[in-house]
């Protein structure tokens, strides 16, 4: 399981340990993906609420890589589990000849073509390129959505699977485990080498939350507001944003063509 680091979200728990209950904090929210203050609103938190929030912060940390760039998410056990990493025998260029080698491989999550892991790029879902302006909190809202802390829940297979895994982890003493994650491809048991796999795209996946708008999915509900407000009060908003930007919730493997076609530079 991924290890924590004190300069990221786990530091929240050490700061919260110094706080005395009852704790009164001003309320903030994320509305349509943007940071916002709730005028003249406060919340009084007891120790149980603080403990629950700290546990969520630790779970968010587990879903990200520590002290690394976002492309290193490819080394994350849970990321590999979700996107169906397996061994594949490929022809590899070596100087002026080729030879067969068995390498780790992942499918592109758009077209389904399987590539060697080192040749798969990593793409942020939110915010899109050009929207990483000050105050943009789309990545935070996207991650908190799988903890059921937004007005609208996710409609895709990945979001539904993560929400279910987090619910299961709450009852498990060791937290999130790889066995709680499903593959996000149709033929999870198919043997390689095959060149492509079918990918389930959000538009083809039934959802019980079809009435949820995009704004709903990027707006915090009451539980989300309390969590976010305590993180802001602890001075850890920047750390939270970094962790959510680089979370496996917000990252997906794409091939060069699909990633570049979205206007995003390929980062291998």
DSSP-derived secondary structure for 170-198 = TT-TT---GGGPPPSBS-TTPPSP-SB--
CB 225 within 8 A of CB 35: no
153-204 pLDDT, tens digit each = 877 778 888 888 888 877 776 666 666 666 666 554 444 445 666 565 554 4
What is the rounded CA–CA span in Å between residue 32 and residue 137? Answer: 9
Distances (CA, A) of 57 to 7, 14, 54, 73, 146: 13, 11, 5, 18, 13
Tell me, what's the pLDDT at 134? 54
Residues present in the chain in total: 268
Q: Quick one: pLDDT at residue 43?
A: 87
2 burial class (0-12, 13-18, 19+ CB within 10 angstroms)?
middle
- Whole-model pTM: value is 0.80
Phi and psi torsions of 247, nearest 5°: -85, 150
Domain segments of the chain: what residues? 13-201+221-261
**Measured between alpha carbons, how far is 111 from 31 in angstroms, rounded to an integer?**
33
Q: What region, left, alpha or beta, does residue 241 occupy, with left being phi > 0 and alpha being psi -120 to 50 degrees?
A: alpha
264 vs 200: CA distance, rounded Å: 22
Torsion of CA 223, 229, 235, 240, to 10 degrees: 40
**What was the pLDDT predicted at 202?**
52
CB of 79 within 8 A of CB of 181?
no
Q: Rounded CA gap, 69 and 64, in Å?
A: 10
The pLDDT score that the predictor gives to residue 192 is 44
- For residue 159, the 8-state DSSP code is H
Residue 240, CA atoms < 13 Å, CB-side half-sphere:
27
Given this model, what pLDDT does residue 203 score?
A: 44
Tokens of 75: 């080394």
Bridge pairing between strands 97-107 and 114-116: antiparallel
Q: What is d(CA 148, CA 167) in angstroms, rounded to the nearest whole number?
A: 10
**pLDDT in the model for residue 125:** 83
Question: What would the pLDDT profile of 55-102 be if each residue is shown by its tens digit?
Answer: 888 888 888 876 567 778 888 888 888 888 888 887 777 788 888 888
Higher pLDDT, 96 or 223: 223
């Amino acid at each position: 399981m991924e290890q924590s680091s004190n300069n990221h979200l786990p530091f929240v728990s050490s700061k919260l340990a110094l706080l005395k209950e009852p704790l009164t904090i001003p309320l903030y929210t994320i509305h349509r993906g943007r940071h916002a203050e709730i005028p003249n609103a406060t919340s009084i938190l007891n120790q149980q609420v603080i403990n629950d929030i700290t546990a969520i912060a630790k779970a968010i940390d587990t879903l990200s890589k520590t002290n690394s760039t976002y492309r290193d998410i490819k080394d994350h056990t849970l990321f590999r589990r979700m996107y169906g990493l397996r061994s594949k025998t490929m022809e590899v260029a070596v100087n002026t000849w080729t030879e067969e080698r068995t390498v780790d491989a992942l499918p592109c999550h758009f077209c389904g073509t399987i590539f060697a892991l080192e040749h798969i790029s990593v793409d942020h879902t939110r915010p899109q390129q050009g929207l990483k302006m000050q105050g943009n909190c789309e990545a935070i809202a996207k991650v908190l959505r799988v903890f059921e802390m937004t007005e609208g829940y996710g409609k895709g297979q990945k979001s539904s699977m993560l929400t279910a895994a987090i619910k299961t982890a709450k009852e498990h003493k060791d937290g999130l485990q790889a066995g709680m994650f499903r593959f996000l491809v149709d033929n999870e048991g198919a043997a390689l080498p095959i060149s492509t796999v079918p990918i389930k795209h959000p538009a083809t996946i039934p959802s019980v939350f079809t009435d949820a708008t995009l704004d709903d999915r990027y707006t915090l509900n009451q539980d989300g507001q309390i969590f976010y407000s305590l993180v802001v009060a602890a001075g850890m908003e920047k750390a939270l944003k970094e962790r959510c930007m680089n979370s496996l919730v917000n990252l997906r493997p794409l091939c060069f063509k699909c990633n570049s076609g979205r206007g995003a530079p390929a980062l291998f």
